[in-house]
Amino acid sequence: MNGKTKRLIIILSLIALVLVGCGSEEPAPTAQPPVEDAIPQEPVIGEATVESIQLLILESFPVQVNARVRGVLPDGCTTLDQMTTEHAGNNFTITLTTFRPAGAVCTEAEVPFDEAIGLDVFGLEAGEYTVTANGVSGSFTLDVDNRIQEEPAPTLTPNPTPEPIDPGTAAIDGIVWHDLCAVAGEGEEAAPSEGCIAAAAGIFQANGLLEDGEPALEGVTVSLGEGNCPAEGLATAVTDADGAYNFTNLNAGTYCVAIDALADPNGDLLLPGGWTLPDSGESLVEVTVEAGEAASGINFGWDYEFLPIAEVDQAACTRSIGFEEDLTIPDDTVFAPGETFVKSWRLRNTGTCPWIEGYTVVFASGDQMGAPDSQPLPKVVAPGQTVDISVELTAPEETGTYRGRWQIADADGELFGVGGFVEETFYAQIVVEVVGPTPEPNSAVLGGVVWEDVCFIRDDGTPSAGCVETEEGSGFYVADGSLNFGEGRLSGITVSLSAGACPEDGIVPASSVIATAVTGDDGLYRLTDLDEGLYCVSIDAFSPANVDLLIPGDWTWPAYGVGRLGINLDAGEAILDIDFGWQFR
């Protein structure tokens, strides 16, 4: 092959390669319009996103175990669909599926969920068990086999059968004695005897201890009532020369032992003075006895606060009133024209003269409002003692503000006032207005909702929505005390109502509860048919009705750790926002 032929072959090969390359070139793609997110036209079923799982072992036997599963749903349209639980060996598997309806338009924000799922653990052997919910796991341990063991039949012994106890063989007894205390001198020079304790600045009383040499009080009438105090009418007993009394042939139960110092013949034996035992100023003791039991030592101590009335020098002692409190009708209470009412005050004798027979409550000045010019004191009042005074008044027919002023007069008619000054009075002040129709009595309502206040820590250590840090930088979080979207309502919770203010120590006695209500499936409760007055609404998380539903956990509303709230209710008023928030632990 000559050189010219070789060059021709090379040229033809290059042309062929060019033609093949041109033939393999693909056409440019046709531009397509952007595809928008389409709304699903079919229901969407998926698995829920689980963030944490908590295993709660209830205090019972056989034990019960709840799996508390928390997580989020992807949007506002998606809901939990089915929750199934499978058990194999030492493993429980929980599957939570979700459902999103077709064609739904919804928010894209995540929605938290919190579900309590009961596990079938009865009959399981002791050991450690793993619970997995949509891939998130936790564990719990059974210390003993979770089944009721049949007790072996007891072996009979030849012990003799005890004699049956007569149900009417319980008894209550005690002593009434003079609790001695004497004071020589006055003011800074006052020298109390042995057996005295300071009751207030410059005032002493006996110490409430039955000591050797203290005399018995004979002839005092003691009453017995059946049930919680106050109660009376079941029986009476009179103390003997040793100051002793007793009640016998009683059935098992609760009784109220009491002494009324004002009732005849006790008034002539005791007054003036006051109780130092069972408690200063009190004369009621609640006693519970079993059949055949004798409750002894139910004693009463009485302190004669000064010499008998006849021996007190009325000319040398001082007279003074100490104002304690308004018992009824606070200042500027509104009344309709012509409406009648009773004004009551609590006063203290802060002088050295006893207020004896012949002392009177006297209208001094201002608006008399239909009251008498004077009326006798309801009882003898020793120095340091209090007395409750009530006056019936009638609101004037004309609208406006009215004030009536009052003092006390001694047996000679000499007036004295608050602090010992004649010009200082205690008074009643009201406002007269034309008001609408009076609400029906017993028509007020209290209510609210009990809800689960949610706060949990995610696996990455961050708090969920609804958490607040107890102290900046502490890393300890609690629920925020607000009823937020998606937080569950607590049903079956027993709410209690008691009359009067809530106790400061937080313990609401069961005996003071006058009504209860149980929350429905929506967490709502209602206390109806109430009269006006001051009430305490409370939830005892440790009561038998609530302990299995709430514990472990604590209140976040109305205050952290506080499950009670005082309410002043007007006649016919409906207060329906007395809510309680609870955070499970």
- Cis omega (within 30 of 0) for bond into 230: yes
- The residue among 141 and 188 whose pLDDT is bigger is 141
Tell whether the model's pLDDT for residue 99 goes beyond 90. Answer: no
Same domain for 410 and 465? no
The pLDDT of residue 337 is 93
In the listed set 410, 432, 454, which residue is the last one of a domain according to the structure? Answer: 432
Q: Spell out the residues 6+ positions from residue 486 whose beta carbon is closer than 8 angstroms to its own.
A: 111, 112, 113, 454
Q: How far apart are CA 268 and CA 363, in angstroms?
A: 30
Count of structural domains within the chain: 4
- Summarised one tens digit per residue, pLDDT across range 314-360 is 677 889 999 999 999 999 999 999 999 999 999 998 888 888 889 99
The pLDDT of residue 200 is 52
End-to-end C-alpha distance for the chain, whole angstroms: 98
Same domain for 176 and 255? yes
Asked whether residue 517 is domain-assigned, the answer is yes
For 168, the token pair is 């009417």
- The pLDDT mean for the chain works out to 83
Q: Work out whether the CA dihedral 411, 416, 422, 428 comes out positive or negative.
A: negative
**Least confident piece of the model among 184-193, 376-385, 560-569:** 184-193
The pLDDT of residue 12 is 52
- Summarised one tens digit per residue, pLDDT across range 257-286 is 999 888 888 887 888 778 888 875 568 899
The pLDDT of residue 5 is 46
Q: Which residues span the domain enclosing 412?
A: 321-432
Same domain for 465 and 377? no
Per DSSP, 103 falls in state: T
**Least confident piece of the model among 25-39, 88-102, 112-126, 391-405:** 25-39
The pLDDT of residue 184 is 54
Using a 10 angstrom Cβ sphere, with 0-12 exposed, 13-18 middle and 19 or more buried, the burial of residue 316 is exposed
DSSP string, 44-92: EEEE-EEEEEEEEE-SSSS--EEEEEEEEESSSS-EEEEEEEEEETTEE
CATH of the domain at 244: 2.60.40.10
- Summarised one tens digit per residue, pLDDT across range 498-523 is 998 888 777 788 888 999 999 999 99
**Sheet hosting strand 284-289, strand order edge to edge:** 235-238, 221-226, 253-258, 284-289
Q: Spell out the residues 6+ positions from residue 153 whose beta carbon is closer than 8 angstroms to its own.
A: none
Q: How far apart are CA 132 and CA 69, in angstroms?
A: 10
The pLDDT of residue 282 is 65
pLDDT bucket at 572, cuts 50 / 70 / 90: confident
Q: How far apart are CA 206 and CA 275, in angstroms?
A: 9
The pLDDT of residue 311 is 45
Asked whether residue 28 is domain-assigned, the answer is no
Same domain for 406 and 335? yes
The pLDDT of residue 453 is 92
Q: Spell out the residues 6+ positions from residue 111 whose beta carbon is closer than 8 angstroms to its own.
A: 72, 73, 75, 76, 78, 485, 486
- Summarised one tens digit per residue, pLDDT across range 218-239 is 999 999 999 998 888 899 999 9
Tell whether the model's pLDDT for residue 365 goes beyond 90. Answer: yes
